[in-house]
């Protein structure tokens, strides 16, 4: 396994990171959400572009001025975790999750059931499914697993 560069830091979101954050989001979704219909991806992308990331707990994994990934937490729930596909498998997602669990008290997450690698990732971190929905929060046919950290 490759080691994590010690110069990489977790920093609160700043508006100057917006374009990089949106680019990481898009690349990550395209790499991991193959189950999305192209029209649904476009609709989600248009929504994500309108989000004001400064109004809730978004933290960026930075290598100098380069954004490698980010996590967003609201009310102890991970609402978003995305890593640049160029940096998959390096432990960055785990690092962001451990940060969120330790400092933001994150103990819940919703994950698309079809995103099996993400489901496995959260299970490995101690999360378990407590509810399954037939549709996502936008009413689309993408089942969600609602997961929480085992006590």
Identify whether 145 is part of a domain.
Answer: yes
Identify whether 43 is part of a domain.
Answer: yes
Compute φ and ψ for 56, nearest 5 degrees.
-145, 175
- For residue 26, give both structure tokens: 């898009």
Expressed in percent and rounded to 5, the helix, strand and coil fractions of the chain are 35, 30, 35
pLDDT at position 6 is 61
Count of domains observed in the chain: 1
State pLDDT tens for residues 63-100: 999 999 999 999 999 999 999 999 999 999 999 999 99
Identify whether 37 is part of a domain.
Answer: yes
Answering whether pTM is above 0.85, one says yes
**pLDDT bracket for residue 56 (50, 70, 90):** confident
- Computed over every residue of the chain, the mean pLDDT equals 94
Identify whether 141 is part of a domain.
Answer: yes
Identify whether 3 is part of a domain.
Answer: no
Identify whether 139 is part of a domain.
Answer: yes
Identify whether 4 is part of a domain.
Answer: no
Would you say residue 20 has pLDDT above 90?
Answer: yes
Domain that holds residue 117: 9-149
Q: What is the CATH classification number for the domain harbouring 129?
A: 3.40.630.30
Identify whether 24 is part of a domain.
Answer: yes
User: Whole-angstrom Cα distance, residue 148 to residue 151?
Assistant: 9
């Amino acid at each position: 396994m490759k080691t994590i560069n010690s110069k990489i830091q977790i920093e609160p979101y700043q508006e100057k990171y917006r374009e990089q954050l949106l680019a990481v989001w898009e690349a990550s979704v395209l790499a991991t959400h193959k189950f999305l219909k192209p029209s649904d991806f476009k609709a989600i992308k248009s929504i994500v572009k309108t989000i004001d990331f400064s109004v809730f707990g978004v933290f960026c994994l930075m290598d100098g001025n380069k954004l490698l990934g980010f996590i967003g937490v609201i009310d102890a729930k991970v609402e978003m975790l995305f890593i640049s596909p160029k940096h998959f498998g390096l432990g960055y997602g785990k690092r962001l999750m451990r940060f969120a669990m330790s400092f933001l008290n994150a103990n819940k997450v919703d994950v698309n059931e079809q995103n099996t690698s993400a489901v496995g990732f959260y299970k490995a971190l101690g999360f378990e499914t407590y509810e399954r929905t037939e549709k996502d929060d936008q009413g689309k046919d993408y089942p969600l697993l609602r997961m929480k950290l085992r006590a």
